[in-house]
Structure 1
Amino acid sequence: MVDLRSGTMRLYVFALLLFLLVLGVFESVEGRRTRFKPKPKEKKTEKSVEEITPAKDININQIGGKWYLLTVASRCQHLLEKGFKVESTIINLTPPVSPRSPLKVSTFTKLNYQCWEIKQNYETTNSTGRFLLKGNMPVMNVEILIIDTDYSSYAILLYKRMKKITMKLYGRSTQVPEAIQDKYEELARKHNLGLDLNFQFPDYGFCESADKEHTLVMT
């Protein structure tokens, strides 16, 4: 039996979960492609990473609480090559208590049938709705932007690292109106992430808690 309390093993699991968490890919449950639609002609409307801006007038206090991860749009090589297998995922957001405080993020998901909790701090920036998840070195930093939200039913977040983009659709419940799904897919297409690069996450089997031995504090 592997002793998860050993420093070496916990470091390994830490690195694996970090890799999977950033990409939004967790193996075990077979993922689902987004609903089929005739593929529209791609338009050359993709913005450069530097031009992407968060939504205007974001009220960060209203973004707090529980969110279900519904769909991920990504060119992640791991996701494309290893099969479309993802795990149901929940995040809990705690808004900053002061202008310089971070947005606290607690993620619950599974790895090999075991529930894990991953705690992270998204550092605030001078731009409301834009956050920074610091890596071991600057080149590994992840910039997070709140692209669109109504606070009560959906939120669309964009993650970028090394000029590569991933988009995620979150919901207050496991379902969002079709109009919201359409909006998300249109935004993804503008960043050259078509339906063939969109993956739906399971709407069942969620973790709500994890014990101390399976909690990773990444702050």
Structure 2
Amino acid sequence: MTPCAMTPCPITPCVSHVPVPSRLFPVPMSARSLLLLSLLLAAPHGRGQRAPAARSALSAVRTRGNLVLSELAGRWFLVGTASRCTYLAQNSHRLEPTAMTVTVPDGQSLSISTFRKLDGQCWEIKQRYVPAGAHGHFSVRGRGYNSKMEVVVGEVDPRSYAIIYYQDSQGLSVKLYGRSVQLSDTIVDKFEQRARAVGLSEDVTHYFPTYGFCDSADDFHILDETEL
């Protein structure tokens, strides 16, 4: 489950710039497209400020209830993100609909395919979440030396919603996913409560479009992060 807009998110100021293999692009891309594409390569981040309180908050997060990984399998829609990511704040009026498909290949790790549009073109970003300590905690390898993201599946109703926490060296984000694009006010309120508990207020909470989702991407528009 993934990455700022997560999207997955990221480039300065949300996160560090990520180089993209040239073989992925059949034609030259504009500077704007390269900038936006880098947002697809990461998971949600905050603005380039490292906050000790946010890090300790994530370490204290525990998975609620009895999480059965196989129940996470299937399609999820990104409903909302709480993050101090500057890109989100500046572009909240033009966020792209984002969905992900989850599989559990070995009963322990999660294979994630995130689908979203960039300049009208559907992209797929593949990631692998590997177990990291406590149940429901995962690690995702990033681009660059010693780069990784921590993920905690905080709360799940496998038929309805999932609240997931993401943390890297630049910040903390909390995301709300739904089996459908419309969730009840009770679930949305719970998500905002969980975000406030780790220092992310409604002022930095953004909600995503409910239509126009991608279902697939062609071979030229797949970013395979599992090969890192």
User: Does TM, scored on the shorter chain, surpass 0.5?
Assistant: yes
What residue in structure 2 maps to residue 17 of structure 1? Answer: 37
How far apart are 1:209 and its partner, in Å? 1.1
* Residue 88 of structure 1: how far off its partner (Å): 0.3
TM-score (norm 1): 0.78
Q: What CA RMSD, in Å, does the superposition of the two structures yield over aligned residues?
A: 3.0
Amino acid at match of 2:151: I
Residue of structure 1 in register with 2:177 after alignment? 170
- Percent of aligned pairs with the same residue? 35
Residue in structure 1 matching 2:190, options 180, 183, 186: 183
C-alpha distance in 2, partners of 1:216/1:69? 19
Give 1:7's match in structure 2, choosing from 23, 28, 44.
23
Q: CA deviation at 1:125?
A: 2.3
Structure 1 runs, 4 residues or longer, greater than 6 Å off: 12-15
**Pairwise CA distance, 1:49:** 3.1
Number of the residue aligned with 1:214: 221
1:61 maps onto 2:81 in alignment:
no
1:147 aligns with 2:163: no
Query: Is the alpha carbon distance of 1:172 and 1:82 closer, same or farther for their aligned partners in structure 2, counting shifts above 3 Å?
Result: closer
Q: Structure 2: any 5+ residue segments left out of the alignment?
A: 1-19, 46-52
Distance 1:92-1:191 versus aligned 2 partners, 3 A rule: same
Structure 1 CA distance, aligned partners of 2:219 and 2:82? 32
Cα distance change, pair 69–83 in 1 and its aligned pair in 2 (3 A)? closer
Distance 1:53 1:5, change over 3 A: closer
User: Which residue identity lines up with residue 69 of structure 1 in the other structure?
Assistant: L
**How far does residue 140 in structure 1 lie from its aligned partner after superposition?**
2.8
Cα offset, 1:55, TM superposition: 2.7
Question: How many residues matched?
Answer: 196
Sort the Cα spacing of 1:71 and 1:49 in 2 relative to 1 into closer, same or farther, 3 A. Answer: same
